[in-house]
Amino acid sequence: LRDYYRHVHTYDNTLVTKFFGLHRVKPSSGQKFRFVVMGNMFCTELRIHQRFDLKGSSLGRSTDKVKIDENTTLKDLDLNYSFYLEPSWRDALLKQIEIDSEFLKNQGIMDYSLLLGFHYRARQSLLRGGSLPESILQDNKLAVLSEQGKHETVSPYL
């Protein structure tokens, strides 16, 4: 716990889940139960259109649900996009993943994943006053290409 606390306080941009508390409640008329309070990375006014639970593996890593909707959490093999991030964003993301992975390794934790969410917006709405900086739109630094070749602009929630 001490190492975890140090890690999340040292690295503001950690991708490791932030735990805020572990509680035990015993109602006067019932059995005690425990629950965990964690940070929700999808706590946003924006609609999350797709969610992915990425483990970096292909073994059993596709969704076998017949009906897939916005509440379905997809897996590694369901992700058919190539990402192009502005170089400093890419470098910062990869560095944080490296730091977090080293922390998890040192803690003996090997079963972890990256939760990734997409909010799709029409390019026209971004140009009319979206929240992304104009330089990103002009330089096309944040773009996603699907395997079908369709260009989409997204707000990634990593």
Question: What residue ranges do the domains of the chain occupy?
Answer: 1-121
Q: For residue 139, what pLDDT is reported?
A: 40
pLDDT by residue (tens digit) across 108-125? 988 778 888 888 876 655
pLDDT by residue (tens digit) across 51-82? 888 888 878 888 887 788 888 889 988 888 78
CB neighbour list of residue 116: distance below 8 Å, 6 or more residues apart: 51, 52, 54, 79, 156, 157, 158
CB 102: neighbour CB atoms within 10 A?
11
Give the separation between CA 123 and CA 152, rounded to whole angstroms: 8
Q: Are strands 81-84 and 19-25 parallel, antiparallel or unpaired?
A: unpaired
pLDDT by residue (tens digit) across 13-31? 999 989 999 999 998 888 9
Q: For residue 3, what pLDDT is reported?
A: 96
CATH homologous superfamily for the domain 1-121:
2-Layer Sandwich (3.30.810.10)
DSSP 3-state percent helix, strand, coil across the chain (nearest 5):
25, 30, 45
User: Reduced to 3 states, what is the DSSP secondary structure of residue 33?
Assistant: strand
| More confident position, 135 or 127 | 127
- How much is the pTM? 0.66
pLDDT score of 152 more than 70: no
Give the separation between CA 136 and CA 108, rounded to whole angstroms: 39
Q: For residue 23, what pLDDT is reported?
A: 94
